[in-house]
């Protein structure tokens, strides 16, 4: 799942917006060359102070998530005020006193952050959103800004979903596929929509989308079967294998399937017609 295409560059290839403030500032500068970037620096410091000590499921410091989300928001072309709110979008989960953000970043930013937290995605009318091909620099409406931050938040969560417990992975992926992906596409954010779709499908259909997870032997075995039936048996056996906890049990399961494959092939290729087999 980690190898799927990403909107922003991967962390290990070069210093990039998802890992550093300087990268983030560079992205904002490409879209808004004349903007004053000092609020972003302050927002980063603020987030770093209050999120200090918090970690993600991956073990990464929480601030990496704030920066990554802000970078995606910046990449969409959002103005610095929205990127600022993106950096601070989880600040309410910290001991930061409520008045402090108002004092330093203004009421508009605080309102935007609250809207990001309270807006229900299924209540945003998709017709109200035109992010993909709007003239640059973007002057987003409140709804568009909220959506941009929420989408970026979800995109980064989906990129790092491997670290989340499986039960939650499936719930989040299902919601992403059914609700969030269509919104991203409706808003004209094709790349974001495509990546969300790919990442959530990979969670929901591991047997078909990550073939590598099926033991190669089982996959080879299914080649004996009629072509139309291969996917079904591969998926069925894969699901059973995943529930076996010991290596020995998995090996026995696979070996038994291997031994019976010719029999199954015969059964599937030669349906009985009124006679015994």
Site residues, another protein (CB under 8 A): 165-171, 173-174, 204-207, 232-233, 235-236, 238-240, 242-244, 252-253, 255-260, 263-264, 266-268, 271-277
Phi-psi region of 140 (alpha: psi -120 to 50; beta: other; left: phi over 0): beta
Which of the residues 93, 103, 122, 240 is marked catalytic? 93
Question: Catalytic: 92?
Answer: yes
Distance CA 199, CA 176 (A): 9
The answer, yes or no, to whether the previous bond of 46 is cis (omega within 30 of 0) is no
Other Cβ atoms closer than 10 A to 38: 9
Nearer to another protein, 142 or 205 (CB): 205
Nearer to another protein, 5 or 174 (CB): 174
Nearest to 188 by CA among 241, 135, 114, 237: 135
Q: What minimum distance in Å lies between the beta carbon of 62 and another protein?
A: 24
Q: What minimum distance in Å lies between the beta carbon of 205 and another protein?
A: 8
C-alpha count within 13 angstroms, C-beta hemisphere, residue 57: 13
Nearest to 83 by CA among 126, 140, 10, 12: 140
Q: What minimum distance in Å lies between the beta carbon of 90 and another protein?
A: 25
- Report the Cα–Cα distance between both ends of the chain, in Å, rounded: 45
Nearer to another protein, 86 or 177 (CB): 177
Distance CA 165, CA 99 (A): 35
Question: Catalytic: 93?
Answer: yes
Distance CA 138, CA 249 (A): 57
Q: Which residues pair with 55 in a beta bridge?
A: 61
Q: What minimum distance in Å lies between the beta carbon of 277 and another protein?
A: 5
Q: What minimum distance in Å lies between the beta carbon of 224 and another protein?
A: 12
Nearer to another protein, 130 or 230 (CB): 230
Q: What minimum distance in Å lies between the beta carbon of 155 and another protein?
A: 20
CA Rg value for the chain: 24
Contacts of 30 (CB under 8 A, 6+ apart): none
Nearer to another protein, 135 or 272 (CB): 272
Which of the residues 60, 92, 175, 235 is marked catalytic? 92
Nearer to another protein, 136 or 276 (CB): 276
Helical spans, DSSP H, in 51-188:
63-76, 80-87, 98-118, 142-159, 166-175, 181-186
Report, as residue numbers or ranges, the catalytic residues: 92-93
């Amino acid at each position: 799942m980690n190898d799927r295409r990403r909107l922003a560059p991967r962390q290990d290839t070069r210093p990039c917006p998802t890992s550093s403030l300087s990268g983030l500032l560079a992205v904002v500068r490409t879209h808004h060359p004349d903007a004053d970037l000092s609020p972003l620096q302050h927002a980063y410091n603020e987030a770093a102070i209050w999120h200090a000590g918090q970690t993600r499921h991956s073990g990464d410091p929480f601030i990496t998530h704030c920066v990554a989300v802000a970078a995606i928001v910046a990449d969409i072309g959002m103005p610095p005020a929205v990127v600022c709110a993106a950096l601070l979008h989880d600040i309410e989960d910290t001991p930061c006193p409520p008045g402090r953000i108002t004092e330093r970043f203004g009421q508009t930013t605080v309102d935007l952050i609250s809207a990001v937290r309270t807006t229900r995605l299924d209540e945003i009318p998709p017709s109200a959103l035109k992010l993909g091909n709007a003239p640059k620099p973007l002057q987003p409406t409140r709804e568009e800004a909220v959506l941009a931050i929420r989408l970026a938040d979800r995109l980064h969560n989906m990129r790092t979903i491997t670290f989340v417990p499986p039960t939650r992975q499936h719930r989040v992926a299902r919601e992403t596929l059914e609700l969030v992906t269509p919104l991203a596409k409706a808003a004209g954010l094709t790349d974001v929509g495509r990546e969300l779709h790919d990442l959530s499908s990979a969670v929901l259909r591991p047997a078909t989308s990550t073939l590598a997870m099926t033991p190669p032997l089982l996959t080879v075995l299914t080649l004996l079967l009629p072509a139309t039936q291969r996917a079904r048996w591969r998926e069925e056996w894969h699901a059973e294998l995943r529930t076996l906890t010991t290596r020995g049990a998995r090996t026995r399961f696979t070996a038994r399937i291997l031994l019976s494959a010719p029999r199954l092939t015969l059964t599937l290729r030669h349906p009985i017609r009124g006679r015994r087999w």
